[in-house]
Structure 1
Amino acid sequence: MASLLSPESLQQIKRLDLRARMVIRGFLQGLHTSPFHGFSVQFSEHRRYNRGDDPKLIDWLVYAKTDKYYIKRFEAETNLTGYLAIDLSQSMGFTDSQSMNKFEYATCLAASLTYLMTMQQDPVGLLTLGEKVHAELPARSRRGHLGDVMARLSQLEPTGNTDLGACLTQIASMLKHHSLVMLFSDLLDDPEQVLASLARLRHGGHDVIVFHILDEAEVNFPYDGPVQFEDSESGETITVDATGFREDYLIQLEQFRSVYREKCSNLRIDYVPLDTSMPFDAALTEYLMQRQARF
């Protein structure tokens, strides 16, 4: 199933809604036949038993299947308002492979999560991030809204510059009720400003998931000899000896990711590092593993 949910395979499917449906059906089918079966139960109708919960609420049938304590979620707990926050910076359009670029990967993952949340009747809204935030679609849970989100995601293109820190600060001031903010970005901005804005979101009482999406080439740096690189947003070029530069580059990349991993952990923000070669079921499982560890 993993091969069917790879970016290369899904790229053959042009309609975003069909991609998302295939990802979620394959993902849920995989959960039911894997050691992570408990995740699918928790993600839909149940939550883990916490100290202080009434033991009478434990679902013993689920315990028999998973060997873990879950309680049935109340109706008020199941309705979580989610917002997709999509980075429209031109750098998101970069790719150096035959697979999806970062933006296509982001929109496919966002569409899949929309499909999953709609199955749970959770409202989902769409925000796009450029030099300022654009509220593309309000958060709704009606059946027809799924099609609206898919259609709008299919129309988006990564163009221009993005002030990620300012946009996240704007989102923090926009949202008046507890929400789940799902950020899809390559985070190619000032980390200090971005993290300060993420902190404002958390201090505002919102849950945050950061999907840090990089191109496969940005992660593996498969270059040799003299190579000219161009900044996709400024147009500036630089020529480097890729062979001699690779080790320093990979060290700096790991440091970049480590800063976000550590700071997000301190803020109780889920940080999910991805690249465009990762199958979508693996990306979703990585997310669920981190949510499970935190809760």
Structure 2
Amino acid sequence: MPAAESYLKPEVIQQIKRLDLRAQFIVKGFMQGLHASPFHGFSVEFSEHRKYTHGDDPKDIDWLAYAKTDRYYVKKFEAETNITGYLAMDLSESMAYTYRQELTKFDYSICLAAALTYLMIGQQDPVGLVTFGERIRQSLPPKSKRTQIGTILSLLANLKPEGKTDIGASLIQLAAMLKHSSLVMVFSDLLADAEGEGGVIPALRRLRHGGHDVILFHVLDEAEVAFPFTGLVELEDPESKEKLEIDADGFRTDYLAEVESFRETYRQECFQSGIDYVPLDTSMPFDRALTEYLVTRKHRA
């Protein structure tokens, strides 16, 4: 496992910084516009307004806005615009898989988490971390101090993805832990039961019903998506260690259809539940992954 510093090396920092510079919608809009979102993150200035409602202090009315619209609006204060984020990281052994990419699925998730942490803390939004396997293993309270990115990466760099996972149970446990409406960013390959009792999808719905916004980063290895194998190959389940020998050429079409169905199930279920679903693979630069997600969300909004 790479050391924490490897995620903070100059070229990675530059990639993260470019996220900040790429069209202001990345900073101001990344967490805005989520399905039915109660949050207005990444804004600590009076950059947004809401309609005046009974109980608001009349002194907060923006009279310039009234002059332009003939309607009463009040400026949103910092307390109303800040959000609390939680990075929820899958530590199952399958996340350690890589075929020919430099980064495993877990490493890739850390880079993406670093970018999100950088963006949120840059706007004074607190962010914390939860890691899970068959249950939650570590929990780091949200903070908005700049040292938090180093704290998060140092913790992750000292972890080794291992063992089995129970994503559904872990997310249910997380939902019970959260006392206030939060933004939960889940990083997982989702190699677990999707539906049924104890499945991932019911657990995601539970988070949404608890008033939380959810972004599901579905991280697969490039080989899991593209299936670049030929001839006879032996496949091994990283968690059960079960092995299967197949003819890759004859299996490819069915396999690719299954992967597409796998992703489509989550895409549809997340859409219906008001969850943002982000399918990724480890061949995508993580800054591009964020940008493509933003473009997709912008078109859907």
TM-score by length of 1: 0.83
Mapping for residues 135-214 of structure 1, pairs under 5 Å: 135-192=138-195, 193-214=199-220
How far is 1:289 from its partner?
A: 3.0
Structure 2 distance, partners of 1:273, 1:239, is 28
Q: SS at 2:131's partner residue?
A: strand
Q: Give the equivalent residue in structure 1 for 2:35.
A: none
Q: C-alpha deviations, 1:20-39, integer Å up to 9, x for none? A: 5222212233x23xxxx444
* Unaligned stretches of 5+ residues in structure 1: 1-10, 59-70
Q: State which structure, 1 or 2, has the greater radius of gyration over its C-alpha atoms.
A: 2
Q: Normalized per residue, which structure has more helix?
A: 1
**1:287 corresponds to which of 293, 296, 299:** 293
How far is 1:73 from its partner?
A: 4.9
* Unaligned stretches of 5+ residues in structure 2: 31-41, 53-60, 66-73
* Residue 125 (1) aligns with residue 128 (2): yes
Mapping for residues 1-295 of structure 1, pairs under 5 Å: 15-18=6-9, 21-29=13-21, 31-32=22-23, 37-43=24-30, 44-45=42-43, 52=51, 73-192=76-195, 193-293=199-299
Q: SS at 2:116's partner residue?
A: helix
Structure 2 distance, partners of 1:100, 1:143, is 25
Q: SS at 1:127's partner residue?
A: strand
Q: SS at 1:256's partner residue?
A: helix
Q: Give the equivalent residue in structure 2 for 1:67.
A: none
Structure 1 distance, partners of 2:149, 2:275, is 26
Please tell me whether the aligned partners of residues 82 and 182 of structure 1 are also in contact (alpha carbons under 8 angstroms). yes
Structure 2 distance, partners of 1:155, 1:57, is 53
Name the CA shift for 1:230/1:289 in 2 (closer, same or farther; >3 Å): same
Structure 1 distance, partners of 2:257, 2:129, is 35
Identity %: 52
Q: C-alpha deviations, 1:87-135, integer Å up to 9, x for none? A: 0000011111042111110111111111111101111111001111123
Structure 2 distance, partners of 1:271, 1:78, is 23
How far is 1:57 from its partner?
A: 7.1
Structure 2 distance, partners of 1:288, 1:133, is 29
TM-score by length of 2: 0.81
